């Protein structure tokens, strides 16, 4: 167990084969951990899973030695930011080494160096969302220090991970990730996570501007909300947890999150795990990109780019966006055809699965991998024993308190509420994932896919095809309603 995690470690007695007295044992096998990740619909903290990972020693001091002299971009934000979210487009940026960051952070009166314009008492700094592959370029051995194979993802290591190093108060505004689910390893310091379930999306006032592929932002600063402007936010079900070193947070697909550093220095590492549902999400993202780029570049010939998140390298041309959309649509159908063939073969060899009607696109595509079987399997899964216990702690809902009493919000420190949530578990564990498609969309997909099970994709989407869908009266009605609601905010 990593030092300072505050959770108990368990010791085994000598049990033979390779085991020595005092050896730590992981509470979940990789297979079990993956089963939990693929079926759980609620955030939870894994404890005692990373005590032997070399990366548990990656504090900012150690990383500053590894990355000696490397220039890193820090996002600078204000400690008292008001009710408006501090989007990346409104932050300042500083290029500095980790050593310079640590000097600024420790010697708080320093008026020299790259951070000289930022008074430490008023600003925070965040080296956020740094892909290992760009950061450690020539030091690829370090990738092995992160071992997501322990969670059932063989071969996944730092190469598929991102690093986050921040000072007290540094934070990421509330957003949801369009793709995958997330595993987050807290290495140094503590971070407070404010999470909201996918069904709260209307209460979070989603926006695609600033545009960043794969992130849907909330218009609300969830730690200091303007409830006059955003009254529906009162209905949102805030879940809160403070993640400590050595713990791994599981964030299910499409859960909103706002994340803030609550210690002087924080380091965390995360990896987004791809899911079946990402195929449709990629099509949605491609449509969003095309629309945002088309309208925003038309609006502003001088292109201030204030609408484009700095993580996006550039606005893409209509031609590129068309190719991107067609790529996403083809991948969607290719995946569907391939997975349908696999499913048919599985059914042929398994006499228990004879009910033809259970072989539908839904069961495969709407439901997560371990939940994607027929209803009988689903029922068995739901009766399975709860995985929760001292080493897997559910993140539970916390009632909201007035923003001024933020410090007093009762939160889960990763140790309590296990029994209460055991009851809750039957409902949450292996609950069907939200439906990806309507019945009618589903029928169309099935028809197109069965028309062409082997041949090349016949699904080319032209600008006119897209326009035809976008100006569909149902869509324009919804847009009109949203515009009118927006005006009255
Ligand atoms: O740690 C943070 O500041 C944000 C992390 C995040 O958004 C993520 O892992 O998806």
pLDDT for the residue numbered 444: 59
Residue/partner pairs of 434-443 with CB below 8 Å, 24 or more apart:
434/198, 434/199, 434/254, 434/366, 435/362, 435/366, 436/277, 436/280, 436/365, 436/366, 437/280, 437/361, 437/362, 437/365, 437/366, 442/360, 442/361, 442/362, 442/365
CA of 261 to the centre of ligand 1 (A): 11
Residue 288 Cα distances to 13, 129, 208, 351, angstroms = 56, 22, 8, 44
Least confident among 15-24, 323-332, 379-388, 466-475: 15-24
pLDDT for the residue numbered 75: 98
* Ligand 1 within 6 A of CB of 194: no
Query: How would residue 23 be classed by pLDDT, with cut points 50, 70 and 90?
Result: low
Name the residue with the closest Cα to ligand 1, atom 5. 259
pLDDT for the residue numbered 487: 75
Contacts with 448 (C-beta within 8 Å, 6 or more apart), sequence order:
333, 458, 459
* Ligand 1 within 6 A of CB of 177: yes
CA of 152 to the centre of ligand 1 (A): 22
Check pLDDT > 80 for residue 142.
yes
Check pLDDT > 90 for residue 104.
yes
Q: Which atom of ligand 1 lies nearest, measured to the CA of 162? A: 9
Least confident among 85-94, 153-162, 391-400, 445-454: 445-454
Mean model confidence pLDDT for the chain: 80
Between 32 and 336, the more confident residue is 32
Distance CA 238, CA 341 (A): 41
Between 8 and 120, the more confident residue is 120
In the numeric block, which tokens belong to residue 230? 């955003």
Q: Is 388 exposed, middle or buried (0-12, 13-18, 19+ CB in 10 A)?
A: buried
Check pLDDT > 60 for residue 370.
no
Check pLDDT > 80 for residue 458.
no
pLDDT for the residue numbered 438: 53
Check pLDDT > 90 for residue 480.
no
What mean pLDDT is predicted for residues 47-52?
98
CA of 420 to the centre of ligand 1 (A): 28
Check pLDDT > 50 for residue 168.
yes
What mean pLDDT is predicted for residues 13-21?
36
State pLDDT tens for residues 273-306. 999 999 999 999 999 998 988 888 777 666 666 8
CA of 271 to the centre of ligand 1 (A): 10
* Ligand 1 within 6 A of CB of 261: no
CA of 475 to the centre of ligand 1 (A): 32
State pLDDT tens for residues 313-368. 778 889 999 998 999 999 998 888 877 766 666 656 554 444 443 333 233 333 23
DSSP secondary structure letter of residue 457: -
pLDDT for the residue numbered 489: 65
Residue 182 phi, psi dihedral angles, 5° rounding: -135, 140
Check pLDDT > 70 for residue 200.
yes
| Crossing angle between the packed helical segments 318-348 and 463-470, to the nearest 10 degrees | 80
Contact 396, 239 (CB under 8 A): yes
In the numeric block, which tokens belong to residue 401? 């308190």
pLDDT for the residue numbered 296: 81
Contacts with 338 (C-beta within 8 Å, 6 or more apart), sequence order:
none
pLDDT for the residue numbered 186: 98
């Amino acid at each position: 167990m990593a030092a300072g995690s505050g959770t108990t470690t368990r010791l085994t007695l000598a049990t033979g084969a390779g085991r020595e007295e005092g050896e730590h044992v992981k509470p979940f096998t990789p297979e079990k951990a993956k089963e939990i990740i693929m079926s759980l619909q609620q955030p939870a903290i894994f404890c005692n899973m990373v005590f032997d990972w070399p990366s548990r020693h990656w504090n900012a001091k150690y990383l500053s030695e590894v990355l000696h002299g490397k220039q890193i971009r820090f996002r600078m934000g204000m400690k008292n930011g008001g009710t408006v979210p501090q989007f990346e487009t409104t932050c300042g940026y500083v290029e500095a080494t980790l050593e310079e960051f640590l000097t600024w952070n420790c010697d708080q009166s320093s008026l020299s160096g790259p951070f000289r314009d930022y008074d430490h008492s008023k600003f925070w700094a965040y080296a956020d969302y740094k892909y290992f592959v760009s950061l450690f370029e020539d030091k690829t051995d370090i990738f092995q220090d992160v071992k997501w194979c322990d969670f059932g993802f063989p071969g996944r290591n730092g190469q598929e991970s991102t690093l986050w190093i921040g000072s007290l108060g540094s934070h990421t505004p509330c957003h949801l990730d369009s793709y995958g689910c997330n595993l987050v390893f807290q290495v140094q310091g503590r971070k407070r996570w404010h999470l909201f379930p996918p069904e709260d999306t209307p209460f979070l006032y989603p926006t695609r501007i600033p545009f960043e592929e794969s992130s849907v932002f909330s218009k609300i600063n969830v730690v200091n909300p303007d409830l006059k402007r955003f009254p529906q936010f009162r209905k949102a079900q805030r879940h809160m947890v403070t993640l400590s070193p050595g713990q791994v947070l599981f964030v299910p697909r499409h859960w909103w999150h706002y994340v803030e550093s609550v210690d002087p220095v924080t380091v965390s590492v995360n990896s987004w795990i791809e899911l079946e549902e990402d195929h449709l999400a990629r099509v949605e993202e491609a449509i969003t990109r095309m629309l945002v780029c088309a309208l925003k570049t038309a609006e502003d010939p001088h292109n201030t780019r204030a609408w484009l998140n700095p993580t996006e390298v550039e606005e893409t041309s209509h031609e590129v966006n068309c190719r991107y959309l067609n790529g996403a649509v083809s991948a969607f159908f290719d995946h569907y055809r391939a997975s349908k063939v696999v499913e048919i073969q599985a059914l042929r060899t398994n006499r228990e699965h004879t009910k033809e009607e259970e072989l539908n696109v839904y069961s495969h595509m709407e439901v997560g991998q371990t939940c994607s079987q027929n209803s009988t399997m689903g029922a068995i899964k739901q009766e399975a024993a709860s995985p929760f216990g001292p080493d897997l702690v559910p993140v539970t809902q916390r009632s909201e308190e007035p923003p001024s009493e933020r410090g007093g919000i009762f939160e889960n420190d990763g140790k309590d509420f296990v029994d209460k949530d055991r009851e809750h578990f039957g409902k949450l564990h292996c609950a069907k994932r939200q439906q990806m498609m309507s019945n009618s969309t589903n029928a169309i997909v099935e028809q197109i896919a069965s028309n062409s099970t082997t041949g090349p994709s016949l699904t080319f989407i032209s600008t006119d095809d897209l326009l035809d869908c976008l100006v569909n009266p149902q869509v324009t009605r919804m847009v009109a309603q949203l515009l009118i609601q927006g005006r009255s905010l």
